[in-house]
Amino acid sequence: QLQLQESGPGLVKPSETLSLTCTVSGGSISSSSYYWGWIRQPPGKGLEWIGSIYYSGSTYYNPSLKSRVTISVDTSKNQFSLKLSSVTAADTAVYYCARHPRYCSSTSCYLPLWFDYWGQGTLVTVSS
Amino acid sequence: EIVLTQSPGTLSLSPGERATLSCRASQSVSSSYLAWYQQKPGQAPRLLIYGASSRATGIPDRFSGSGSGTDFTLTISRLEPEDFAVYYCQQYGSYWTFGQGTKVEIK
């Protein structure tokens, strides 16, 4: 059974960099069939896609966050990571990692699709 | 960016009743690239529907999705106690965006 687990500091100071890691177990992050994504949810609010990465390092970022986001992958550890710089209180949220299947025909591969497996989420609070 | 607007914000129903949730997109969602998720308090979202109408693995058949273009619907035919939760739609035809959610609460 595939499992994803987020880890990282629960408290980050304003203007600093938020860093989280997602560890994937029960499956390989190097599968050609999946991207891996980060989604966040401010307390009491809705879901916001942050970005997604393929095992090769190919990435997609939310345009509204692109200038502050870096997502990387470590296939040797079956992990991928999120860095969000210059954080403010507005970045306080539960951060989820998730698997992101993609469809490939015989000639082309397309954008990743829905999110089918999620981590349990980790609350990150931005406060001094 | 495709903006998804869900209605109503809150739906108050009794167990056994039918729930109809709406998701409207600001522009056409290509190839019916729309998914629905269920989220309970303190839990991660769970995939219910993808491709607008295909149920994910293990999802009961009381959940059904329909629609195309800009208008999509999630229907729960007979509400079970465990179905009271928040539901989100998500499009994946142009990057990835979510609706703001519909809360289904016990009347």
Q: How far is B80 from chain A (nearest CA, A)?
A: 23
Please tell me if residue A16 touches chain B, with a CB cutoff of 8 Å: no
Rounded (10°) CA dihedral A57, B43, B89, B94: -10
Q: Average pLDDT in the B89-96 region? A: 93
Considering CB atoms only, which of B50, B97, B101 is closest to A49?
B97
Strand (E) or helix (H) holding A109: strand A109-112
Please tell me if residue A44 touches chain B, with a CB cutoff of 8 Å: no
Q: Are strands A93-104 and A109-112 parallel, antiparallel or unpaired?
A: antiparallel
Q: Per the CB < 8 Å rule, is A62 touching B50?
A: no
pLDDT-based confidence at residue A14 (cuts at 50, 70, 90): very high
Q: Average pLDDT in the B5-9 region? A: 96
Distance CA A46, CA B60 (A): 25
Strand (E) or helix (H) holding A36: strand A34-41
Distance CA B14, CA A123 (A): 33
Of A68, A69, A94, A65, give the one whose Cα is nearest residue A80. A69
Say which residues have a Cβ less than 8 Å from residue A84's Cβ, sequence separation at least 6.
Answer: A17, A18, A50, A65, A68, A69, A91
Could you tell me which chain A residue has the CA closest to the CA of B90?
A114
Amino acid at B84: F
Please tell me if residue A46 touches chain B, with a CB cutoff of 8 Å: yes
pLDDT, one tens digit per residue, over A86-124 is 999 999 999 999 999 998 888 888 888 999 999 999 999
Q: Determine if the peptide bond prior to B8 is cis (ω within 30°).
A: yes
pLDDT, one tens digit per residue, over A27-58 is 999 998 999 999 999 999 999 999 999 999 99
Considering CB atoms only, which of A37, A60, A121 is closest to B44?
A121
Q: Is the pLDDT of residue B47 over 80?
A: yes
Could you tell me which chain A residue has the CA closest to the CA of B35?
A114
pLDDT, one tens digit per residue, over B53-75 is 999 999 999 999 999 999 999 99
